[in-house]
Structure 1
Amino acid sequence: MIPALFSPAAPARRAGALTATVTFGARALLKIKHDPKQLVDSIAIPVLFTVLFTYLFGGAISGSTADYLTFLLPGTLSMSIAIVTMYGGARLAKDVTTGAFDRFRALPLWRGAFVLGGLLSDAARYLFASVIVVGLGLAMGYRPAGGVSGVVAAVALIVAFGLSLSLLWAVVALLVADQAVVISIANVVLMPLSFASGIFVAPQTMPGWLRAFVEVNPLSQVAGAARALMNDTAGAGGALAWSLLATAAITAVCAPLALHLYGRRG
């Protein structure tokens, strides 16, 4: 009995990559309880823009709020997800400055688990915001001609694009390691992309110099593809291809860079 107490214990089994990733994802979701602003913004931003713009400008732009909502809702869905992507990078920057990041790096875990776990929690937030926007639109009278399949395809596209932006802000967070700076940089990038886009009005109504920028704006392409998918209209092919290309390009650059910075830091 006594010798057994002093015998060396078997080493703890190293957590697998999937287990570690899910654990870090659950941790990131639990942190929302201590920082509810992430959840509040996921609700307030889509509600504010969808309701406000529909009833303020719907009649003037499209002749009726119902017609404008059909045009607007896929756009505000895209914009809402894009804007809340910054909080993933802000969360990572906070972990870096508080020392939690260094403790996690010292654990015998696959190094990508920390980054991918954050992406899992981000995906959950983006899906939650998408449900809010689509549910609000249905309550306001929106009826997507693309049906359930069109809505699901549009949400999948937008969430994938949002996750690529999450990787971008993760890279920024690992470079600057300051929560306020990450949010400031994200706002400087996302606000012009959101308002100088085809989310609120058709690019054909804009002056030539602005239209040229709007048509290459990746957020415009994502909004246009989502609009075509949800409303079952022609023109999804080109916008969808450009959206997938932009998503793949951002991911291909930022994913390995984030893992490299994660391994190098400290």
Structure 2
Amino acid sequence: MTVMIPSPSRTASQRLRWTIADGWTITRRDLVHWARQPVQVVVGLLFPIMVVLMFGYLFGGGMSVPGGGDYREFLMPGMFAMTMLFGIEGTYTAVATDVSRGVTDRFRSMPMAGSAVVVGRSTADMLNAVLGLAVMVVCGLLVGWRWHGTVGAALAGFGLLLLLRFAVLWVGIHLALVLRNPEAVVAMQILVWPVLFLSNALVSPETMPGWLGFLAEANPLSATVSATRELFGNPGWGGDSWLRQHAVAMAVGWPVLLIGIFLPLSVRRYRRLDR
């Protein structure tokens, strides 16, 4: 006769510690994978540097900054924000690959916290994002970018950039858990580029057709770019629209909204993968 022993009940603080401990185990698993395959990480770090050099030195001579100012100081906040979306498809593909190969099922059969896998994966991605942002800041300083506000304002700008990454990350994790197929997730990579370029990172929305310019201005990426240019004291497009006048609020509001929607959906979807 098999006797089923019920798991002991846990308090809220015990469940939180359990989730953090299990999530960190998954994070270390992903970090070990990256350490054994460093080429992928190195290429991910070098690609945005190449884009900076291309726009800063090949195209920069033909660019005019609204109201005057150094083009590379105008460019870098947009590149910082775009870097938050570069390489994120690797996380989506890894999540879908684990699902398709049954790795996630094995995790779910273990006595682990229900959200540990997605939390661990997101933590590893955010560590990678911090590293990528640090490399980009060094690159920006080398090409002549500077911030002109206070240290607190600069730190707030970097915080908004990482907040954007965290929000987009949960959107992708949810879609990866829904699609499950790595080949299908690859199609999501194509959607990253319209989001990048349909923004104010490189081109003013005023140069676009009216409806397209509105979409570009309402893009969460545009809000983060405008907010960081403001916090760093770098030149921007200007304008008197409500979205531009409240860029910092929108740079907080958009990611918080996306996290509030897709983080719970991702955890719920993970727990219901067998249905």
Equivalent residue for 2:47?
Answer: 45
Question: Quick one: distance in 1 between partners of 2:101 and 2:37?
Answer: 15
Deviation at 1:101, TM superposition (A): 0.7
- The amino acid of 1:77's aligned partner reads F
Is it true that 1:130 corresponds to 2:138 in the alignment?
A: no
Question: Quick one: distance in 1 between partners of 2:209 and 2:149?
Answer: 31
In structure 1, stretches of 5+ residues that fail to align are 1-10
TM-score of the pair, normalised by structure 2: 0.84
Which among 78, 98, 101 is matched to residue 101 of structure 2?
98
Equivalent residue for 1:204?
Answer: 206
Is it true that 1:228 corresponds to 2:230 in the alignment?
A: yes
Which protein has the bigger helix share? Answer: 1
Equivalent residue for 2:114?
Answer: 111
Question: Quick one: distance in 2 between partners of 1:100 and 1:245?
Answer: 35
Check conservation: 1:41, 1:84, Cα contact below 8 A: no
Is it true that 1:247 corresponds to 2:250 in the alignment?
A: no
Aligned-residue RMSD, C-alpha: 2.4
Which among 261, 265, 274 is matched to residue 257 of structure 1?
265
Question: Quick one: distance in 2 between partners of 1:180 and 1:226?
Answer: 35
Deviation at 1:34, TM superposition (A): 4.2
Question: Quick one: distance in 1 between partners of 2:73 and 2:234?
Answer: 11
Check conservation: 1:150, 1:231, Cα contact below 8 A: no
Bigger mean CA deviation after superposition, 91-100 or 71-80: 91-100
- The amino acid of 1:111's aligned partner reads G
Equivalent residue for 2:197?
Answer: 195
Bigger mean CA deviation after superposition, 83-92 or 116-125: 83-92
SS in 2 for 1:96: helix
Equivalent residue for 1:154?
Answer: 157
Question: Quick one: distance in 2 between partners of 1:209 and 1:18?
Answer: 44
Check conservation: 1:38, 1:84, Cα contact below 8 A: no
Superposed structure 1 runs of 4+ greater than 6 Å apart: 232-237
In structure 2, stretches of 5+ residues that fail to align are 1-6, 8-14, 239-243
- The amino acid of 2:50's aligned partner reads L
Deviation at 1:199, TM superposition (A): 0.6
Equivalent residue for 2:21?
Answer: 19
